[in-house]
């Protein structure tokens, strides 16, 4: 069944209520008592929500009660959001100074008396609904749980025995792990150093980490390497006392007769922790042991250090083999690099599938079913547990239609067992912190195998207030990056590539299935097969043009997201646009990229709750209504690729909340004053603005951190001197731009961390202003500088640079001296620079000794795949908010 996020939603609402109740405005609007009443009732209800979420499948009517609580919380949030918008408009009028009367007229519909009466009525209605729903909840007998300790379905205890003949495609992995176990520990022979070598095996749930560990554990060579072998399934509860007891019991079982071991097992349960530690030292002291700690979830480093200190008593050469789904845990415990377990090949997957779907030899009678099976196992991306689940569900079923049904409808249509793939992934999901589970559901809005850029989720999650800073001071970009990093460490993301400011990843298909599973009551992907949109759906993703009709979209006002994620799929019906605006006034995200309507209606201003509006790649739209500037909550506005857009709307400075602004326009002069008023602007992009000669000359854009300028053929200069907080600069294909501006002036100190300069074929030297970022620059890309002959000596003073890519600079012959001073450099890529590449070759190249310390070095005469990935991913996806 779909998941609920009521506890998290209630918690967020309570924070907002606390703020509004304390404000004088609540008394001025005569809503103080009702807001206080909502806050008090919700505080009581919140106490039983965790218990309700755990019991929702066991108690009749509880799911519906949770849904009602969730809906009233959303409605209360909309009302409070209305207050926020009204306050923002008052700030706009106040900040307008001498033009305040004109601006006030612009917002004349926001009459304070009318607004006050309307909001008071709405708040009273919310309070009455909440009181009634709260009273209804008394009949369920729910317990009060004040702290979010999610009940996690425990994994069945694993064991060390395995039938090796039943394991497919893991022979090479077994050999690699055994090689690692045979190697001497690099720190094990030092004077007084008794550290134990810890080898982590990390991978997605269901990938076969435990199976691989079993294969190694039971290999005869391991018996010759170690005097003692112990297997401990740790799972979700990292209780050091219990782990010690398990280790002692394993050691006893290895060295004693079964009857003695059983008696010992019963007796040590009564020992205190000091006695257990003594027993542990006695069992392990002086012996070379292998300890397998299977399925570790604990990320508390203090607990790990405590356990590690207790088991250091073995002889030199002892090893610990750990399995975990988390990269961060693997890094925490490992003393050698993690062994990342990859998926099985298609051939091995098919063999495994056939083993579970047919009796031995029976598959020869059904070649058509085997062909369908091959299609299904490709969807499993090499995950053995998924393959087994599919095979088991079709065992002794030879009906062609049934096989096609399973192939086409995938995992939630399978007869799920508690240890099959969905529960296996669901376990990982349930282990996530509550704030992360709610964010995870949004992956279901995108197609499978979709290439994601982190900035997508800054906008999407940020639009719904999901990026909350515990301290209140963290930037939403940094919070989103932490969330993405945590999802990645839990093996929910794959193909992760980090370019510094931009990071790219995909979601495994089975993980996507899980996202769809937990989100399916409120999130829906609309395609040509969609016949009905349930009224409770809040988030819509449209992936096919021919799936749009007036009749399809519900009349309920619950929709908060309309998203077109696919290239080439957009809206062409202005009538449908009018319907959406009239019907869904609480929209937070309206993502209409690749659309072809000619006019955005004035009524867009009615979407006062809107946070993100994406009109990118609309090749027909010529003008925007000035009423768009009434959207005071708007955080993201993308006009990228709107090649026919004549001018930007007047009054942009009134968009007080705007953080990201992506622009394509035929306009030749920008209104500097308007941009200077955008005090929260974080990211600004200009693409295909062919008539722009200058961005800004005088007015400071004081908050800007990211500036992207691409294919602006008339641009002559960049205003770095009026961008005091700029951290990332991307400039590509601006033929008239003089990169060496202000060459006579003193070098300005910059805060830049990332710099990407591309396609400046006549530039012979790097501009000296880059030297101003000596103390901050971490990532530098120099691409398609066909006349560049040398790199400046000051480059080696940039000791914070971690990534340096120099691509397609064929006349570049020399490195500056002292390249070894770049001590932080981890990633050096030189391609399309034939002579320089020759001089950098390992061992034989004259520059090799000065760059040999760098962790990842890549050379080649042509930069093809990676350049294409790096630049096109950034441009085509990174700007596509």
According to the model, what pLDDT value does residue 14 have?
87
Please choose, from the candidates 282, 27, 308, 304, the residue with its C-alpha nearest in 3D space to the C-alpha of residue 195.
308
pLDDT at 868: 40
pLDDT score for 148? 52
Distances (CA, A) of 468 to 21, 225, 463, 838: 20, 51, 11, 50
Q: Please say whether the beta carbons of 405 and 413 come within 8 A.
A: yes
Do the beta carbons of residue 230 and residue 291 sit within 8 Å?
yes
**Alpha-carbon span 511 to 154, nearest angstrom:** 20
Give the tens place of pLDDT for each residue, 512-534. 888 988 888 899 999 888 888 88
Residue 151 pLDDT: 32
Taking the mean position of all CA atoms in its chain, how far away is CA 559? 23
Is residue 861 pLDDT above 50, yes or no?
no
pTM (2 d.p.): 0.74
Q: Calculate helix-pair angle for 273-284, 301-310, nearest 10 degrees.
A: 50
Residue 99's closest CA among 701, 601, 650? 650
- What per-residue string of b and e applies to 504-536 under the rule 16 or more CB within 10 Å gives b? bbbbbbbbbbbbbbbbbbbbbbbeeebeeeeee
Rounded-to-integer distance, Cα 710 and Cα 737, Å: 11
In terms of average pLDDT, the best of 374-378, 553-557, 689-693 is 689-693
pLDDT tens across 632-674, in order?
999 999 999 999 999 999 999 999 999 999 999 999 999 888 9
DSSP state of 619: S
Does 258 score more than 70 pLDDT?
no
**Percent of the chain beyond pLDDT 70?**
84
Reply yes or no on whether the pLDDT at 81 is more than 80: yes
pLDDT tops 50 at residue 220: yes
**Residue 755 bridge partners (DSSP):** 729, 780
Nearest to 148 by CA among 228, 294, 46: 46
Q: Which of helix, strand or coil describes residue 728?
A: strand
pLDDT digits (tens, 9 = 90+) for 94-150: 777 655 445 555 555 556 777 788 888 999 999 999 999 999 888 888 878 765 544
Question: What does the DSSP 8-state code read for residue 790?
Answer: B
Q: Is the pLDDT of residue 879 over 50?
A: no
How many CA within 13 A on the CB side of residue 668?
Answer: 2
Task: Select, from the ranges 191-195, 397-401, 422-426, 684-688, the one with the highest average predicted confidence (pLDDT).
Answer: 684-688
Residues 13/73, Cβ–Cβ less than 8 Å:
yes
Q: How confident is the model at residue 389 (pLDDT cuts 50, 70, 90)?
A: low
* 792/155: higher pLDDT: 792
pLDDT reading at 873 higher than 60:
no
Comparing 180-189, 639-648, 763-772, which segment has the lowest mean pLDDT? Answer: 180-189
Average pLDDT over residues 609-626: 95
pLDDT-based confidence at residue 254 (cuts at 50, 70, 90)? low
Q: Which residue has the higher pLDDT, 252 or 281?
A: 281
Alpha helices in 490-586 (DSSP H): 509-519, 574-583
Question: Sorting pLDDT into bands at 50, 70 and 90, what band is 360?
Answer: confident
Containing 177, the helix (H) or strand (E) segment is: helix 171-182
Q: Which tokens is 395 given?
A: 């065992």
Question: Dihedral through CA 709, CA 711, CA 716, CA 722, nearest 10?
Answer: -10
pLDDT score of 249: 85
Which residue stretches of 645-722 are H helix? 672-676
What does the pLDDT average to over 254-274? 57
DSSP character for 317? Answer: T
Contacts 24+ apart (CB under 8 A), 870-875: 870/499, 870/781, 870/805, 871/732, 871/758, 871/783, 873/451, 873/453, 873/502, 873/504, 874/453, 874/499, 874/502, 874/730, 874/756, 875/710, 875/732
Q: What is the pLDDT of residue 863?
A: 41
For residue 500 the two structure tokens come to 């510094």
Structure tokens at 116: 């006050």
Q: How confident is the model at residue 491 (pLDDT cuts 50, 70, 90)?
A: low
Q: Taking the CA of residue 95 as centre, how many other CA atoms within 13 Å lie in the half-sphere pointing to its CB? A: 17
Mean pLDDT for the chain overall? 83
CA distance 551 to 386: 38
Determine which of 202-211, 547-556, 605-614, 811-820 has the lowest per-residue pLDDT on average.
Answer: 547-556
C-alpha distances out from residue 817 to 810, 823, 846, Å: 20, 14, 12
């Amino acid at each position: 069944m779909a998941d609920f996020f009521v506890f998290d939603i209630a918690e967020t609402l309570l924070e907002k209520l606390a703020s509004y109740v304390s404000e004088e405005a609540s008394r001025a609007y005569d809503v103080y008592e009702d807001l206080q009443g909502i806050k008090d009732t919700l505080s009581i209800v919140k106490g039983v929500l965790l218990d309700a979420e755990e019991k929702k499948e066991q108690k009749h009517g509880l799911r519906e009660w949770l849904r009602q609580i969730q809906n009233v919380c959303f409605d209360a949030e909309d009302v409070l959001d209305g207050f926020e918008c009204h306050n923002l408009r008052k700030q706009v009028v106040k900040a307008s100074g001498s033009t305040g009367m004109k601006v006030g007229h612009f917002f004349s519909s926001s009459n304070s008396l009318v607004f006050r009466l309307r909001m008071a009525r709405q708040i009273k209605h919310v309070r009455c609904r909440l009181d009634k729903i709260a009273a209804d909840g008394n009949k369920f007998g729910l317990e009060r749980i004040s702290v979010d300790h999610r009940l996690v379905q425990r994994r069945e205890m694993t064991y060390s025995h395995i039938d090796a003949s039943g394991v497919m495609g893991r022979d090479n992995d077994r050999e690699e792990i055994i090689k690692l176990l045979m190697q001497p520990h690099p720190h094990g022979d030092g004077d007084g150093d008794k550290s134990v070598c810890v080898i982590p095996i990390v991978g997605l749930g269901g990938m076969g980490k435990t199976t691989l560990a079993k294969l190694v554990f039971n290999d005869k060579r391991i018996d010759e390497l170690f005097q003692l072998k112990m297997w401990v399934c740790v799972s979700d509860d990292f209780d050091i006392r219990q782990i010690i007891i398990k280790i002692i019991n394993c050691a006893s079982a290895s060295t004693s007769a079964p009857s003695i071991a059983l008696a010992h097992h019963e007796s040590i349960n009564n020992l205190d922790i000091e006695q257990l530690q003594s027993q542990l030292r006695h069992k392990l002291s002086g012996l070379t042991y292998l300890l397998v700690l299977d399925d570790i979830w604990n990320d508390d480093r203090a607990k790990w250090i405590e356990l590690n200190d207790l088991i250091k008593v073995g002889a030199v050469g002892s090893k610990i083999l750990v399995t975990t789904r988390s990269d961060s845990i693997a890094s925490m415990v490992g003393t050698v690099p993690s062994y990342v377990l990859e998926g099985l090949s298609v051939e091995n997957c098919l063999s495994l599938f056939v083993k579970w779907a047919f009796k031995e030899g029976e598959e020869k009678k059904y070649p058509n079913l085997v062909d369908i099976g091959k299609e299904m196992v490709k969807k499993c991306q090499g995950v053995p547990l998924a393959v087994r689940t599919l095979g088991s569900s079709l065992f002794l079923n030879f009906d062609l239609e049934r096989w096609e049904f399973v192939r086409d409808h995938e995992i939630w249509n399978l007869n799920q067992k508690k240890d099959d793939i969905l529960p296996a992934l669901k376990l990982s999901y349930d282990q996530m912190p509550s704030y992360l589970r709610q964010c995870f559901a949004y992956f279901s809005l995108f197609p499978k195998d979709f290439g994601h850029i982190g900035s997508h989720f800054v906008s999407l999650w940020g639009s719904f207030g999901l990026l909350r800073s515990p301290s209140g001071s963290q930037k939403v970009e940094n919070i989103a990056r932490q969330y993405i990093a945590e999802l990645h460490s839990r093996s929910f993301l794959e193909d992760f590539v980090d370019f510094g400011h931009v990071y790219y990843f995909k979601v495994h298909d089975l993980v996507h299935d899980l996202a769809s599973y937990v989100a399916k009551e409120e999130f829906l992907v609309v395609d040509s097969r969609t016949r009905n949109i349930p009224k409770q759906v809040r988030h819509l993703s449209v992936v096919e043009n021919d799936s749009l009709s007036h009749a399809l979209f519900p009349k309920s006002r619950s929709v908060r997201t309309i998203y077109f994620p696919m290239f080439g799929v957009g809206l062409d019906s202005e009538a449908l646009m009018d319907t959406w605006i009239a019907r869904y006034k609480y929209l937070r995200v309206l993502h209409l990229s690749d659309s072809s309507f000619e006019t955005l209606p004035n009524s867009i201003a009615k979407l006062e709750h809107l946070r993100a509006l994406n009109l990118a790649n609309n090749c027909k739209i010529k003008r925007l209504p000035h009423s768009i500037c009434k959207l005071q909550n708007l955080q993201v506005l993308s006009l990228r690729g709107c090649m026919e857009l004549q001018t930007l709307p007047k009054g942009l400075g009134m968009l007080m909340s705007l953080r990201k602004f992506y622009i394509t326009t035929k306009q030749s002069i920008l209104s500097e004053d308007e941009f200077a008023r955008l005090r929260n602007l974080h990211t600004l992009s200009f693409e295909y603005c062919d008539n722009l000669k200058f961005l800004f000359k005088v007015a400071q854009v004081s908050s800007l951190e990211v500036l992207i300028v691409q294919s602006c053929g008339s641009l002559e200069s960049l205003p770095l001197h009026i961008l005091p907080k700029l951290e990332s600069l991307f400039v590509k294909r601006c033929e008239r731009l003089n990169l060496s501006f202000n060459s006579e002036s003193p070098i300005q100190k910059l805060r830049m961390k990332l710099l990407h300069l591309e396609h400046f074929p006549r530039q012979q030297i790097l501009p000296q202003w880059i030297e101003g970022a000596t103390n901050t620059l971490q990532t530098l890309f120099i691409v398609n500088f066909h006349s560049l002959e040398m790199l400046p000596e000051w480059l080696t003073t940039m000791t914070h640079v971690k990534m340096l890519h120099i691509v397609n600079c064929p006349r570049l012959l020399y490195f500056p001296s002292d390249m070894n001073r770049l001590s932080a450099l981890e990633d050096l890529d030189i391609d399309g620079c034939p002579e320089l590449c020759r001089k950098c070759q390992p061992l034989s190249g004259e520059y090799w000794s000065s760059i040999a310390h760098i962790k990842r070095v890549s050379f080649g005469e042509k930069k093809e795949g990676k350049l294409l990935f790096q630049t096109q991913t950034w441009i085509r996806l990174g700007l596509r908010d």
